[in-house]
């Protein structure tokens, strides 16, 4: 169960979707499912599914299919959703506020601090957390063990904040700023570049 192979980035990107579909199956009391049936639901080919899920051990048996609960547990483990994370948001503008109010708590992501540079936002309360001056970020990070920094700031400020986060124990950055950050140490970056997602849509509409 606990063994971990090196899993490719392409597979990692598909895992949350598997996770979501398996959770639905459990809700609907489905105990097992074949790669063909899963394929019809999730939209990947059956062969792609078998190849992907092969990474995590022997959950599929010919003629039996996958044990839904076991597979879900294993994918949860690989996704790290069985853990708890302390998060902070830097940038309390539109996106920052939306993320603050989005309920990620139930998935184990606990919002612990919010920072901004704008005096009009400092002191504002979002979900009982007061927005602090970004000048206090470094001290806050030194006093609290924060796992994830969520960057919702303009691109010009992003690398500087990224550096502060990397140098003060943060392990992952969820980056909404439209820029590619260069992390130091072994900090992981996941971009949520909304403009690029919208351009992908307009590209699809024109192709």
43 lies in the site for a copy of itself, by CB under 8 A? yes
- Contact call for residue 144 and a copy of itself (CB under 8 A): no
**Are 7 and 77 in contact, with CB atoms under 8 Å apart?**
no
DSSP bridge pairs for 125: 130
Asked if residue 28 binds a copy of itself (CB under 8 A), the reply is no
Binding site listing for NAD(+) = 91-96
69 binds a copy of itself, rule: CB under 8 A? no
Helices 35-42 and 9-27 pack at an angle, to 10 degrees, of: 100
CB–CB of 99/114 below 8 Å? Answer: no
Query: Binding to a copy of itself (CB under 8 A): which residues in 124-143?
Result: none
Question: In the set 61, 102, 118, 139, which binds a copy of itself (CB under 8 A)?
Answer: 102
Q: Where are the alpha helices (DSSP H) in the chain?
A: 9-27, 35-42, 46-53, 68-79, 94-101, 137-143, 155-166, 194-206
Give the three-class secondary structure for 202: helix
* Nearer residue to a copy of itself within complex by CB, 107 or 136: 107
CA pair distance 56, 53, nearest whole angstrom: 6
Per CB under 8 A, 154 contacts a copy of itself? no
Residue 20 contacts a copy of itself per CB under 8 A: yes
- Site membership for a copy of itself, residue 1 (CB under 8 A): no
Size of the site for a copy of itself (CB under 8 A): 55
Residue 30 CB coordination number (10 Å): 14
Q: Which residues bind a copy of itself (CB under 8 A)?
A: 4, 6-7, 12-13, 15-17, 19-20, 42-43, 78-81, 83, 85, 94-95, 97-99, 101-102, 104, 107, 109, 147-148, 171-174, 178, 180, 188-190, 192-207
């Amino acid at each position: 169960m606990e063994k971990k192979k090196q899993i490719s980035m392409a597979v990692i990107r598909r895992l949350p979707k598997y996770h979501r579909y398996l959770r639905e199956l459990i809700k609907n009391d489905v105990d097992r499912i074949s790669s063909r049936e899963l394929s019809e639901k999730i939209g990947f080919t059956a062969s792609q599914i078998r190849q992907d899920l092969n990474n995590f051990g022997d959950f599929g048996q010919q003629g039996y299919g996958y044990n839904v609960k076991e597979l879900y547990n294993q994918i949860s483990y690989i996704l790290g959703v069985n853990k708890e994370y302390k998060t902070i948001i830097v940038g309390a503008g539109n996106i920052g506020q939306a993320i603050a109010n989005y309920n990620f708590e139930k998935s184990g992501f606990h919002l612990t601090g919010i920072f901004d540079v704008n005096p009009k936002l400092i002191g504002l309360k979002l979900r009982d957390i007061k927005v602090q001056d970004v000048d206090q970020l470094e001290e806050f990070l030194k006093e609290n063990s924060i796992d994830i920094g969520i960057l919702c700031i303009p691109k010009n400020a992003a690398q500087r904040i990224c550096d502060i986060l990397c140098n003060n124990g943060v392990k992952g950055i969820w980056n909404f700023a439209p820029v590619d950050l260069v992390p130091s140490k072994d900090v992981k970056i996941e971009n949520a570049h909304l403009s690029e997602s919208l351009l992908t849509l307009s590209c699809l509409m024109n192709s």
